[in-house]
Amino acid sequence: MSLVRSLAGKPWVWSFLGALVVWLATIAFTGGYGAGGMVTAALSLAVFTVIVGVGQMFVITLGPGNVDLSLPANIGLASAVAMKVMAGSDSMIVVGLLAALATGAAIGAVNYLLIWALRIPPIIATLSASFIIQSIDISYGRGLQIKPPPGFADFTNWQVLGIPVLAVLTVLFTIGAAIALQRMIYGRSVLAIGQNIRAAWLAGVNVGRIRFLTYTLSGALGGIDGALLAGYFRGANVDIGNEYLLASIAVVVIGGTSVAGGKANVPGVWGAALFLVLLLTMLNTFGVSAGVRLLLTGLIIVGVITAAGGEKAVR
């Protein structure tokens, strides 16, 4: 009984419970058909949301107003850069991934420099940057028909006993992110800034450097996500990252991270990502339109903020 109470007190449990309920509802509707395949597909697609979700989580943890709205444009540009650099050759996979990583990191760094130099809110700076990035992407990636190297495409779709290898690697990455958040000076500094930026500064935290590193990290994860998406979907696309603006914020909020900052939840990002993917699968199975799907996702986010974080967000 104490174990149940202990688990109930963990915010991430509810996101996984929600994913389980949605999965059970879907297989009940289909009579159990495709239950295993649905889990495999959910793991495969959740990976991409988790990667950008972790980056967004670190940014949001910095405190109220901090958010990275440039991620969709970042993902689109990085996917084009990766595919052009790889040029369909397996020997260029590592170079292409590094190019995508560098592209995303540069975007993240510029985002923070805009915030710092112009003294404008992050939401305005990153949104403005996204329009510039998207324009560059349209020019750079126009008519891009380069397919990913066969080895890279196979890797992003590789499964062992029905478990996507990319999902396993992403789990290891999120474990590392959780350790960094709770055990490393950088992670503790992010939490401290989100709890009280002035107190963190008085305690000796280099607030500017930590914020710079966090926005750069978010950008870098967006970049690598763009390359992986291009491999998984067999090519780059200007719009390949569009759905990850809402999704990256949704998994952070639903996963238990406080929108007021200072409190992050890495396991919850996974639970929320699986919940959203399975919810989409369920709604598709029920024949629900795209507009209704977006409406329901928005209502879920508002509901979670109201139930779990609304009272803290006003501080």
pLDDT at position 33 is: 72
Phi-psi region at 68: left, alpha or beta (left = phi > 0; alpha = psi -120 to 50): beta
pLDDT band at residue 59 using 50, 70 and 90 as cut-offs: very high
Tally of CB atoms within 10 A around 158: 12
Residues 6+ apart with CB under 8 A from 236: 76, 79, 80, 82, 83, 141, 144, 146, 226, 230
Q: Cβ(60)–Cβ(259) under 8 Å? A: yes
Q: Residues 226-238: what's their mean pLDDT?
A: 90
Q: Of 42-51, 130-139, 151-160, 226-235, where does mean pLDDT reach its minimum?
A: 130-139
**Which residues is 164 bridged to in the sheet?**
159
Q: What domains can be seen in the chain, in order of their start residue?
A: 10-304 (1.10.3470)
Q: d(Cα 264, Cα 273) in Å, to the nearest integer?
A: 15
Question: pLDDT by residue (tens digit) across 170-210?
Answer: 999 999 999 999 999 999 999 999 999 999 999 999 999 99
Nearest 5 degrees, angle CA 247-CA 97-CA 106? Answer: 70
- Dmax over CA atoms of the chain, in Å, equals 60
Condensed to tens digits (0 to 9), the pLDDT of residues 259-269 reads 888 889 899 99
Structure tokens at 249: 């914020």
Fill in the amino acid letter for 157: N
- Measure the CA–CA gap between 76 and 236, rounded to whole angstroms: 7
Q: Are 291 and 242 in contact (CB under 8 A)?
A: no
For residues 216 and 108, the answer to whether their CB atoms sit within 8 Å is yes
Whole-model pTM: value is: 0.89
